[in-house]
Chain A
């Protein structure tokens, strides 16, 4: 071990804190930090099983007298099961439409020789950062014009607009890297352009497809301004986010019911996150590089 002897900046400190011990200490500190970090969410889930009288008694996580009555009230009074179905409908519909149309856009813009391509790209990038507060009034006016101002279909279609530009750029970036031969071979064999896209190109882009599905699910499930405005006059159409928000306004004493409703809204997206964690994280990170 020559460098142990020669290196002059070696101190007692370094001898005590070996790499292994340092790592252990880091891990313990991190574990404590993470425990505090996720505490609010865990507290909420545990609170949904506590009776209202117990909820405020402290910061403890294990209910003394566990109960399901909060969930009963969340469904009976706050209509959560209906909002759940609404949210599911909007999310699934917008995921299918957005994935399909942004894949087509990305495919054409990423690799087809198309006059006007640069102009379309430029326009898209220009709109990337428009705040939602800027676009909300015309969107509602447009939906109203088509008689969709207060329908789940309108909400579903409008939700597709949220991130379509980002997804198109992700697809375009991916499709530019795919070698030309595959597509040419397929076209030589007389396969039509749409079939080439559907059976050859789209399966190749599977990682991007999963990423887009995941990100759009997150966006649709958690969206707030758009569903809030669309359902202002029509409580039956509310999504979970808006439902919980209104629950807070209407039953502001029933904290137990609120935590139960919140748990109903958060569990599906967290399960999706835990299963597809890698795609969430890589997808969001990929948006920076692109």
Chain B
């Protein structure tokens, strides 16, 4: 009886299923299929899309765990995330709080200006930054020298010690506008009456921010940091376009490593699609794990808040 019920409900919804087809095709082809296929490819020894492949089991994974380039890239990806996310969160929040002031004229204009780098293509940003930061007569170095801040030119993107920090700076500049917009959305949940009441009670602005605004928007911090973290791990375009992982692999993050292994091997070597897939799987699993961790954290804070409200 129950089965017939389901069958008839499916039959009734047949046109709805039809509606799912176009999106379903895209979703299965470019998201579900890659998700599954990557696992399969990761068990192959496979040196090119037109080449034959050979099943090697978990051999790729065993080799990866001994590959210092893989470890380096993996580590750099997470270091990059740990540098950029906190700065972006703080800077975004400060800007959002200032720009959320309804009495501030031109607030929309300022918002648009800070948001501008978000819409600029990464390839363009990488060119501008390579020019501005160039150690050979680059304007920024010129400015620093004429101000007497430094004596010699700084090679922001060419020094292995500096490059990851410079990239992090560019990344923060590019994406803080987005974080600010997320925080602005969160700030909309603070009711206007609260500001009004605080103002009438003579509460100072900084007190309002610390004791009133921050506690209200704090729960959003987990979602925003999650999105920013995922963003920071997907930093391929910036790194590839600016330094290609160099100098001497010192800025090679995970996706650049995957790209190099699969599509752009150094001369004399074959592309290794199976090996790169295995690296992709390990990276994907790490990202998912991180996501899961943060979702769980979000759940538990929400629970705690509900309990606090009940009490």
Contacts and interface: CB of A to CB of B under 8 A. Distances in A.
Interface string A80-124: 000000000000000001101110110110001111000010011
Contact of A37 (B13, B17, B113, B124): B113
Contacts of B117: 37-38, 41
A133 B236 contact: yes
B279 to A, nearest CB: 8
A164 B283 contact: no
A135 B35 contact: yes
Interface stretch (A62-70, A176-184, A205-213, A264-272): A264-272
Interface size range of chain A in the complex: 35 or more
Interface string B230-270: 10011011001100000000000011001100111000000
A217 B303 CA distance: 38
Interface residues of B, number: 102
A141 B49 contact: yes
Nearest to A247: B127
B181 A137 contact: no
B181 A132 contact: no
A138 interface: yes
Interface string B105-144: 1101011111111011111111111111010111110110
B280 A133 contact: yes
Given A23-B103, A130-B35, A168-B23, A115 B263 contact: no
A98 to B, nearest CB: 8
A31 interface: yes
Given A43-B139, A142-B33, A241-B123, 12 more contacts: A44-B128, A56-B139, A100-B22, A131-B233, A137-B262, A140-B49, A142-B34, A158-B30, A161-B31, A229-B263, A232-B264, A266-B120
Given A131-B287, A229-B263, A288-B223, A114 B17 contact: yes
Contact of A161 (B30, B129, B137, B230): B30
A135 B31 contact: yes
A43 B37 CA distance: 45
Contact of A40 (B15, B17, B132, B254): B132
24 contacts: A3-B202, A23-B104, A23-B105, A40-B132, A41-B120, A108-B17, A129-B291, A130-B288, A131-B284, A132-B234, A133-B284, A134-B34, A134-B38, A137-B37, A139-B30, A142-B33, A165-B27, A222-B120, A228-B240, A240-B121, A273-B112, A273-B116, A277-B115, A287-B227
B233 to A, nearest CB: 6
Given A56-B137, A266-B124, A281-B111, A127 B31 contact: yes
Contacts of B168: none
A269 B123 CA distance: 14
Given A108-B20, A130-B284, A161 B26 contact: yes
A275 to B, nearest CB: 12
A38 B119 CA distance: 12
Nearest to A246: B123
Contacts of A37: 113-114, 116-117, 173
A234 interface: no
Contacts of A225: 236-237, 240, 255, 259
B212 to A, nearest CB: 17
B211 interface: no
Contacts of A138: 33-34, 37-38, 41, 277
Where chain B touches its partner, the secondary structure class is: helix
A30 B258 CA distance: 41
A264 to B, nearest CB: 9
A284 B98 contact: no
Interface of B: 6, 9-10, 13, 15-17, 19-20, 22-27, 29-35, 37-38, 41, 49-50, 98-99, 101, 103-106, 108, 110-117, 119-132, 134, 136-140, 142-143, 173, 178, 181-182, 184-186, 202, 204, 220, 223-224, 227, 230, 233-234, 236-237, 240-241, 254-255, 258-259, 262-264, 273, 276-277, 280-281, 283-284, 287-288, 291
Contacts of A222: 119-122, 237
A269 B230 contact: no
Given A113-B9, A114-B16, A158-B30, A26 B236 contact: no
Nearest to B226: A129
A47 interface: yes
Contacts of A274: 112
B259 A133 contact: yes
A220 B258 CA distance: 22
A259 interface: yes
Contact of A41 (B116, B264, B291): B116
Contacts of A18: none
A77 to B, nearest CB: 15
Interface string A221-264: 11011001100100000001110110010000001001100100
Nearest to A269: B119
